Structure 1
Amino acid sequence: MRIRALVALVSVAAVLSGCGQDAPPGSNALPPPNLPAPTTPAPSSPAPSVGDSVELDTSPTIERIKQRRQLLVGVRVDAPQFVTRDPAGEYQGFDVEIARDLAKRIGLAPTQVQYRRLPSTLLLDAVASGNVDVLLGGTADSPQLAAVGPYVVTDSKRYVLIKSDDKKLAEQLQQMLDAAVADGSWQRAYDATLRPAGINARPH
């Protein structure tokens, strides 16, 4: 009886010791659930405050001219002392020289100028509608238009006419006209055109 009891006790101890061991790898234990990887929220850009305005470094008109690679210039048909067109279709005159100088200062070649001869009845509409970038020899007789200059003074003052909503264009054109006087470009244009015609003129 003692031997049987001893055997029974040994068997019970063996069973109990096996129950306390950890399950080996690869056992039927369920793996932990797949958790989504932690995400870092993207930094949000600050919302613009109400009333903030963005001021362009350059004129939107000049940007369009550069993209188009052409300056559209309106010239008057009633001012032959300032601009003429020969039988071959070439434009000549003081206004043409000024237009070419402006084109160079914008970053174009002097040949990248397209002229549009305009009667007096179409001058203002051509500028206001954007059919020309600038009009040489105009006056701002409408709130839609602004006059820059004058770029030449004879018996009257002649201005560069543009749309009034592009203030940067006005500033940059004025700087270009001032630079043309300072570096002698205006004088060379005058000496090649108006002076031989006997027309006395000054820059402003």
Structure 2
Amino acid sequence: MMRIRVLALVSLTAVLAACGQNPEVSQNLLPPLPPAPATSAAPPVPSAGTSVELSTSPTLVRVQQRRKLLAGVSIDTPPAYVSRDPAGGGYQGFDVEIARELAQRIGLRPEDVQFRRLPPTQLRSAVLSGDVDLLLGGTADIPSLTAVGPYAITDSERNLVIKADDRLLAGELQRMLDAAVADGSWQRAYEKTLGAAGIEARPGS
């Protein structure tokens, strides 16, 4: 019995001795902690000469926000291009069809085009002041205006006229005109208006 007690005491002493180990020695037996995650790198600085532009034209943004395309036309435009329907009061003609085609490609409805008939002396100022988004059938005869197209060639060229500082709008309108020719929309507008009036015309692109 005495021998059993001695053995138990020896075992207890060994356990207590193990519990009293130097903490630093115990920690050395643990696997090392993983390294701290690296912080994300700063975004690269654009190289010199890199330009950043808006994704779309500011004019197109205004058109889409107001849900209306303001199209200027001269009051002396021949009726085959722009005329007022005496019965319904709406507009008809080749330029009208082109404006409505552009409106649809912008994301509006054909009826969302508002036509403004202007005297020749007010055409340029209407575009520059933003009273109209574009001018149908005009020419860019001053540096602050630019012509897009032509969208039709008859005895003369018919262009869309916009402000020269909106280069993105010029590119968008040209792509729309090219698409209208490619998918047959231009031809349908021509046959409905100029063709029916016996006026020969061809697309400019």
Amino acid paired to 2:90: E
Amino acid paired to 1:106: I
Cα distance in 1 for partners of 2:49, 2:128 equals: 28
Q: CA deviation at 1:49?
A: 8.8
Counterparts in 2 of 1:182-197, with a 5 A limit? 182-197=182-197
Partner residue in 2 for 1:84 = 83
Amino acid paired to 1:201: A
Q: Where does structure 2 lack aligned partners over 5 or more consecutive residues?
A: 1-41
Deviant stretches of 4+, over 4 Å = 44-53
What is the RMSD of the two structures over their aligned residues, measured on CA atoms? 1.9
Q: Where does structure 1 lack aligned partners over 5 or more consecutive residues?
A: 1-43
Cα distance in 2 for partners of 1:177, 1:90 equals: 23
1:151-172 per-residue CA deviation (whole Å, 9 max, x = no partner) reads: 0000000100000000000000
Q: CA deviation at 1:119?
A: 1.3
Q: CA deviation at 1:51?
A: 7.4
1:67 aligns with 2:65: yes
Query: Equivalent residue of 1:81, what SS?
Result: coil
Q: CA deviation at 1:133?
A: 0.3
Cα distance in 2 for partners of 1:200, 1:45 equals: 58
Counterparts in 2 of 1:4-23, with a 5 A limit? none
**TM-score normalised according to structure 1 size:** 0.74
Cα distance in 1 for partners of 2:186, 2:96 equals: 12
Q: CA deviation at 1:62?
A: 0.5
Q: CA deviation at 1:48?
A: 8.5
Cα distance in 2 for partners of 1:82, 1:110 equals: 16
Q: CA deviation at 1:52?
A: 6.1
